[in-house]
């Protein structure tokens, strides 16, 4: 399983047209939404064979470049991963380190938290996970 650009040993993987990195996808959508841009599904449709198995960090890089072309830059990102398994805590530092250079921000500006669904619903039955992300962007300075 890959989350936040980090390979996590697990007996299950996330199904997806790309590599299924739900953390990277949630951050991508949060950044695009903050800038009023199209969403990840519009930019990288699952109907396009070129997106099969695509690296989610590469998609995030593309979104960051799109923001820059619109005059925006990322400032902070916060992600909550709701899952019974895997536990996120042991991988949080590695995820922040993997995401920071892609986002162009410091690892300290990235929050990643794991929450359990306390055994309830499809998440509680370990049939999937949910990732909720918010992003703060600012007008890029004209250095």
pLDDT tens-digit profile of 43-95? 888 888 887 777 899 999 999 999 999 999 999 999 999 998 889 999 999 99
Does pLDDT of 15 surpass 70?
no
Structural domain including 100 reads 2-139
Domain count, the chain: 1
Does pLDDT of 142 surpass 70?
no
Which CATH number does the domain housing residue 21 bear?
Answer: 3.30.1330.50
Q: Residue 72 has which token pair?
A: 């925006």
Does pLDDT of 19 surpass 90?
no
Q: What is the pTM of this model?
A: 0.91
Assign 3-class secondary structure to 46-78: CCCHHHCCCCHHHHHHHHHHHHHHCCEEEEEEE
């Amino acid at each position: 399983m890959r989350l936040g650009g980090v390979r996590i040993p697990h007996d299950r993987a996330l199904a997806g047209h790309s590599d299924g990195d739900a953390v990277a996808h949630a951050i991508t959508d949060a950044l695009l939404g903050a800038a009023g841009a199209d969403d990840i599904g519009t930019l990288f449709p699952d109907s396009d064979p070129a997106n099969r198995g695509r690296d989610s960090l590469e998609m995030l890089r593309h979104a960051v470049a799109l923001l820059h072309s619109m005059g925006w830059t990322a400032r902070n990102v916060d992600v909550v991963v709701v899952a019974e398994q895997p536990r996120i805590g042991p991988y949080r530092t590695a995820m922040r380190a993997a995401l920071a250079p892609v986002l162009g921000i410091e690892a300290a500006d990235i929050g990643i938290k794991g929450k359990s669904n306390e055994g309830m619903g499809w998440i509680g039955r370990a049939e999937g996970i949910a990732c909720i992300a918010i992003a703060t962007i600012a007008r890029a300075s004209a250095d």
